[in-house]
Homo-oligomer: A and B are copies of this chain.
Amino acid sequence: MGIVYQLSGVIAGVIGMIFTVFLTFKVLEKEPGNEKMIEISKAIQVGAKAFLISEYKILYMIVGLFALFLGIANSWGMAIAFVFGATMSVLAGFFGMTIATRANTRTTHAAISSLGSALKVAFNGGAVMGMTVSSLGVFGLGLVFFISGEDTLIMSGYAMGASFVALFARVGGGIFTKAADVGADLVGKTEAGIPEDDPRNPAVIADNVGDNVGDVAGMGADLFESYVGSIFSASALGALAFSVKGAIFPFLVVSFGLISAIIGIIIVNLTVKSKEGIDPSKMLHFGTYIANIIELISVFILSKYIFGDFNSGVVILLGMIVGILIGSITEYYTAKNPIKKLAHTATSGAAPILINGMAIGMESTAIPVLLIAAATIVSYKLMGLFGIALSGVGMLSTLGITLAIDAYGPIADNAGGIAEMAHLDPEVRERTDLLDSVGNTTAAIGKGFAIGSAALTALALFASYINVTGIKSVNLTDSTVFIGALIGAMLPFLFSAFAMQAVGDSADIMVQEVRRQFKEIPGLMEGKNKPDYEKCVSIATKGALKKMILPSLLAVLSPILIYFVLGKTAVAGVLAGTTVAGVMLAIFMSNSGGAWDNAKKYIEANNFGGKGSMAHKASVIGDTVGDPFKDTAGPAINILIKLMSIVSIVIIPILIKFFE
């Protein structure tokens, strides 16, 4: 196939980057607001940057060691690809977050004049993240693909780099943000009775920093990993099934997806400009749908042109439909009727809302799993393993815009915080709150895509592992395979335990510190004296950095350890066990957390006694428990599953070379 095909990823990546630069200027040209607002925003920027730099230092030490091993034991090409993948992910997260922390005051400032302009700034801030992640992702992988001469193993190095960073960023950022959040809420809201984002709360800056390093940079690295992982696994399986055509096809799919996302982003900007003041969620949805429709048309044409039939188009359509359905189910369980019922149980106390919230999360695993099962079976029937992988790619192909809508949420959230801290007009806060709540709903599609693609990509990576290790069959009647699956199923539980314990421990130190400041700093409650914000930021930073290492190493080292004790076939069992149990645990934790969050919000909207009622107190406890569920452990499990698979794909063949 022509060089243009082979370079499609690189070309699309470059186009995406150019558009990103354009978007960045569009965000930065806005007014950053008054001095007070700039000061707050600066404090958030400084805290976030300091945390990320410390995080990256630790990360690069581990990445360096691993790269050395890869270079010596296997090939320097793979080692370079690995470092390159890690670096692209770091860049995407860092750049996206840098713009996000600048978009927040600009959103606040825009909200002074109108809802529409605030929406545009926040959305474009998120779009920078979305476009950065997808442009750098496909550019980097495309470059490795081209330079290595379509070498799947070298590409796997790039994918492993991306997964590596993702896990650290999600876990580290997740611990930071939730330690700060829990600390700020427990003492500030519950004990001292001051509102959210009140500047008298010593943990308030740490909390806002957390939103950026966890929800923005962490999520960016997370989706960078999903995006790269799905393209890589599809390309690897495509090469097996259809040689070069199959290897290139996923790149074409995402390249067109990138262009479609750009069109969608432009449409959102145009719609918001022309129709000042109408329903923001409609505009965001409209842009997303247009992008997906354009992508689908392109994919069907591509499918016919390259493979001579529409099968791969059907598979990608299926992936999108399943993604949207999973998103709707997620939204149903975390924002519709079950939430009203859940909020009602809070009138009987904290224990009932906790019990029922967990039941909701557990129940919510059922339909998504059946949908994933259906997508897998149909895709497999149509196109074999390649079909399963493509279905996952379909969900993420328009990531530029779906992630824009995801990342827009924390920006709006932060903008609200700045409005509160800068004592702006309550009307401004109302506008940013509306934007924030819209973000929570529109993010459902993104969540559905993330859950669905994680499962499908994990399946595809499992198939790749079997292929690279030359295993004939992974037979569950072989007791080492079954034992492997049992151990594999345990790992997401152990991993979650570490992550939650880390949040619990760090939050505990934070609580003590915030209590101490309230007690020891004179005039703090009266607003006469400023709290020591940095101390809280530093507690969250130290806690996160120290405690992100153990769970992350668990993911990297377990497959290697199992290989030495039980062999390569047992490793396949481990991967299967981790996948099946991990998918459930991730959905359960994310949705229970989401349900508690929204039940609290529902009560705060003057239901069952509203703010300050007994039901509200109970719901705040639920929400706090849900924090590490939905923002630390839950999303990190999806990465855990894929990182373990990719580590196995990269490392086990090397070990086999040496030891078998």
Contact = CB atoms under 8 A, between A and B. Distances in A.
Contact of A362 (B351, B358, B493): B493
A105 interface: no
A584 B493 contact: yes
A581 B480 contact: no
A485 B576 contact: yes
A625 B621 CA distance: 12
Given A350-B350, A489-B583, A507-B348, A572 B476 contact: yes
A653 interface: no
A214 interface: no
A405 B628 CA distance: 38
A170 B481 CA distance: 31
Given A352-B507, A363-B494, 13 more contacts: A186-B348, A351-B624, A355-B507, A365-B493, A366-B494, A377-B480, A385-B479, A462-B476, A474-B477, A482-B580, A485-B485, A486-B583, A490-B584
Contact of A580 (B370, B373, B462, B489): B489
Interface in A349-381: 349-352, 354-356, 358-363, 365-366, 369-370, 372-373, 376-377, 380
A345 interface: yes
Given A475-B475, A580-B577, A511 B348 contact: yes
A350 B621 contact: yes
A511 to B, nearest CB: 5
A640 interface: no
B580 A345 contact: no
A466 interface: yes
Contacts of A370: 487
Contacts of A463: 477
Interface stretch (A23-31, A139-147, A498-506): A498-506
A326 interface: no
A628 B355 contact: yes
- Main secondary structure on A side of the interface with B: helix
A126 interface: no
A182 interface: yes
A355 B503 contact: yes
Contact of A462 (B354, B482, B628): B482
A459 interface: yes
A359 B508 CA distance: 14
Nearest to A361: B497
A488 interface: yes
14 contacts: A182-B352, A186-B348, A352-B511, A354-B621, A356-B500, A359-B497, A359-B504, A376-B479, A377-B479, A377-B480, A459-B482, A462-B476, A466-B477, A493-B584
Contacts of A503: 355
A483 interface: yes
A479 B348 contact: no
A597 to B, nearest CB: 13
Given A365-B493, A572-B476, A355 B504 contact: yes
Interface residues of A, number: 78
Interface string A208-237: 000000000000000000000000000000
Nearest to A467: B477
Nearest to A474: B476
A580 B350 contact: no
A482 B576 contact: yes
A455 interface: yes
Interface in A235-273: none
Given A354-B354, A356-B500, A475-B473, A483 B621 contact: no
A190 interface: yes
A388 interface: yes
Nearest to A388: B479
A645 interface: no
Nearest to A479: B380
A182 to B, nearest CB: 7
A496 interface: yes
A123 interface: no
A300 interface: no
A493 B490 CA distance: 15
A361 to B, nearest CB: 8
Contacts of A496: 359, 362
A573 interface: yes
A588 interface: yes
A580 B186 contact: no
Nearest to A369: B490
Nearest to A484: B373
Interface in A556-615: 566, 572-573, 576-577, 579-581, 583-584, 588
Given A350-B350, A479-B380, A621-B350, A493 B576 contact: no
Q: Which 3 A-B pairs have the closest CB atoms?
A: A351-B624, A362-B497, A363-B497
Contacts of A348: 186, 507-508, 511-512
A489 B489 contact: yes
Nearest to A503: B355
A506 B365 CA distance: 23
A477 B470 CA distance: 12
A512 B347 CA distance: 10
A83 to B, nearest CB: 32
Nearest to A491: B366
Contacts of A356: 500-501, 504
